[in-house]
């Protein structure tokens, strides 16, 4: 896959993901009557800007397709006296501010569900993909269902894939349900797979399959089931990062995503669409985390305000957001550095 095509696909996927996220914030801000200075797609130097008739907002496209923002009146510590008080963010009701903050995540999730539905409608779906289709492991037979990996409940392919990743190269146990309803726990000995002396993954001695369906109802079911399974996988990924079961080196930043996009583009449009849905869910989930500098951080302060009955001091809130933003940039640099090392 050529660099140019990979770049186009990379900009396409991140551009759609960021645009839909920021459009969610923008739409609800406008609906609430909040003055919006700028709606920007991308970060860094501005490439193009324009204004619409009878609209105060400046629309911008910036150089780096790795983010975007909606700049609203009332987000800053010092009030902009040029903007009427009733057009500032702080003047709006708690629910209006909450919906404006959470709208970006909502739109990312909706985009993912729609894309997953389209994929399923076109090519059909595979559900319940934890059944054994091939096995050379004693005690594991074709038709058995994997229900547990190392003591962790498994009921879908995404959770199974995560638990196998966490298990890595060490021996681990799986619990299988046989066709007669009985259960057995079996020890698995992973075998490393290399390609041109590079580790590509592990073989476990079994393959899995599921039930293939191709209908409108199954497509709707798949879209929602896959969405919730991916969210669950994200939750456990964060938890395993906190507990040290997964290394930060396994995370990918823009450079890593660029490489993944190139691999996806080489296999076809359906894989690219699947990646779009996955990245959209990831962006929504990460932004929902109650960490200052993310949307979830703003939502956290709104919840604190609701509990204590009065707003948090804007100076304190902005300081906390700034500190965490700097920490996140440091983390992003670390992840990007590791992504670059993986290229060599």
* 108 and 179 within one domain: no
Same domain, 88 and 133: no
The token pair that represents 56 in the structure block: 């105060």
What is the percent of the chain where pLDDT is above 90? 44
Asked if residue 229 is part of any domain, the answer here is: no
Select which of 22, 75, 163, 317 is catalytic: 22
Q: Are residues 205 and 289 in the same domain?
A: no
Per DSSP, the three-state class of 155 is coil
Asked if the structure places residue 250 within a domain, the reply is no
161: Cβ contacts below 8 Å, ≥ 6 apart: 233
Structural domain contains residue 20: yes
Write the CATH number for 192.
2.30.42.10
Strand intervals (E) in 52-88: 58-72
Q: What is the DSSP code (8-state) at residue 200? A: E
With contact defined as beta carbons under 8 Å apart, do 37 and 280 qualify? no
With cut-offs at 50, 70 and 90, classify the pLDDT of residue 80. confident
Indicate whether 323 belongs to any domain: yes
Domain count within the chain? 2
Average pLDDT of the residues in 128-155:
90
Contact 240, 233 (CB under 8 A): no
344 pLDDT tier (thresholds 50, 70, 90)? low
Q: How far apart are CA 118 and CA 125, in angstroms?
A: 11
pLDDT digits (tens, 9 = 90+) for 156-210: 888 888 888 888 788 999 999 999 999 999 999 998 888 777 777 788 999 988 7
* pLDDT at residue 200 in the model: 75
Q: Which of 213, 211, 187, 209 is nearest to 132 (CA)?
A: 209
Q: Are 340 and 254 in contact (CB under 8 A)?
A: no
pLDDT given for residue 79 in this prediction: 74
In which domain, by residue range, is 171 found?
Answer: 126-213
Query: Percent of the chain beyond pLDDT 70?
Result: 97
Domain contains 247:
no
Query: Quick one: 66 and 23 in the same domain?
Result: yes
Co-location of 103 and 63 in the same domain: yes
Same domain, 30 and 116: yes
Which pLDDT band holds residue 44 (cuts at 50, 70, 90)? confident
Q: Is the pLDDT of residue 244 over 70?
A: yes
Of the candidates 293, 276, 307, 314, the one whose C-alpha atom is nearest the C-alpha of residue 101 is: 293
Beta-carbon contacts of residue 211 (< 8 Å; ≥ 6 apart): 126, 127, 128
How much is the pLDDT for 4?
80
Q: Which of 64-78, 102-116, 183-197 has the lowest mean pLDDT?
A: 64-78
Query: Residue 257 has what pLDDT?
Result: 72
Top-ranked range on mean pLDDT: pick from 15-24, 230-239, 335-344: 15-24
Tell me whether residue 203 is one of the annotated catalytic residues. Answer: no
Residue pLDDT, tens place only, 146-171: 999 999 999 888 888 888 888 878 89
Q: What is the DSSP letter of 41?
A: E
What pLDDT is recorded for position 296? Answer: 93
Decide which of 170, 186, 213 is a domain's last residue.
213
Considering the domain architecture, whether residues 137 and 110 belong to the same structural domain is answered as no
Same domain for 192 and 137: yes
- Report how far residue 237's alpha carbon sits from residue 256's, in angstroms, rounded to the nearest whole number: 17
Return the residue matching tokens 């399974």.
229
Phi and psi at 194, nearest 5°, equal: -115, 145
Q: Please report whether residue 68 resides in a domain.
A: yes
| Domain match, 46 and 112 both | yes
Q: How many residues does the chain have?
A: 344
For residue 260, being part of any structural domain is answered with no
Q: What does the mean pLDDT of the chain come to? A: 87
The alpha carbon torsion through 224, 202, 154, 256 (nearest 10 deg) reads -40
222 occurs within a structural domain: no
Q: Which residue has the tokens 């994200």?
A: 234
Q: Which residue has the tokens 């096995």?
A: 135
End residue of a domain, out of 213, 236, 270: 213
Task: Give CA–CA dist 154/175, Å, rounded.
Answer: 9
């Amino acid at each position: 896959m050529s660099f140019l095509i990979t770049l186009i696909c990379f900009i396409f996927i991140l551009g759609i993901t960021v645009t839909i996220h920021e459009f969610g914030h923008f739409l609800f801000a406008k609906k609430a009557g909040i003055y919006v200075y700028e709606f920007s797609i991308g970060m860094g130097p501005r490439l193009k800007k324009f204004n619409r008739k009878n609209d105060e907002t400046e629309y911008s496209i910036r150089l780096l397709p790795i983010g975007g923002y909606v700049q609203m009146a009332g987000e800053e510590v010092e009030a902009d006296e040029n903007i009427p008080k009733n057009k500032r963010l702080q003047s709006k009701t708690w629910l209006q501010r909450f919906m404006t903050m959470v709208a970006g995540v909502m739109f990312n999730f909706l985009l993912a569900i729609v894309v997953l539905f389209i994929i399923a409608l076109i090519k059909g779906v595979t559900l319940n993909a934890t059944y054994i289709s091939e096995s050379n492991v004693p005690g594991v037979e074709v038709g058995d269902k994997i229900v547990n990996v190392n003591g962790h409940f498994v009921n879908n392919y995404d959770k199974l894939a995560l638990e196998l990743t966490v298990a890595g190269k060490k021996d681990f146990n799986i619990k299988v349900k046989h066709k007669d309803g009985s259960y057995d726990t079996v020890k698995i000995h992973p075998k490393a797979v290399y390609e041109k002396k590079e580790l590509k993954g592990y073989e476990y001695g079994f393959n899995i399959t599921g039930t293939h369906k191709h209908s409108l109802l199954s497509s709707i079911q798949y879209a929602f089931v896959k969405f919730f399974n991916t969210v669950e996988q994200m939750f456990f990924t964060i938890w395993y990062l906190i507990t040290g079961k997964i290394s930060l080196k396994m995370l990918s930043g823009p450079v890593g995503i660029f490489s993944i996009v190139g691999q996806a583009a080489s296999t076809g449009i359906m894989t690219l669409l699947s990646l779009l849905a996955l990245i959209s869910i990831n962006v929504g989930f990460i932004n929902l985390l109650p960490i200052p500098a993310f949307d979830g951080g703003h939502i956290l302060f709104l919840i604190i305000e609701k509990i204590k009955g009065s707003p948090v001091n804007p100076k304190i809130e902005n300081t906390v957001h700034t500190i965490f933003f700097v920490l996140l940039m440091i983390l992003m640099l670390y992840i990007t550095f590791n992504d670059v090392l993986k290229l060599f």
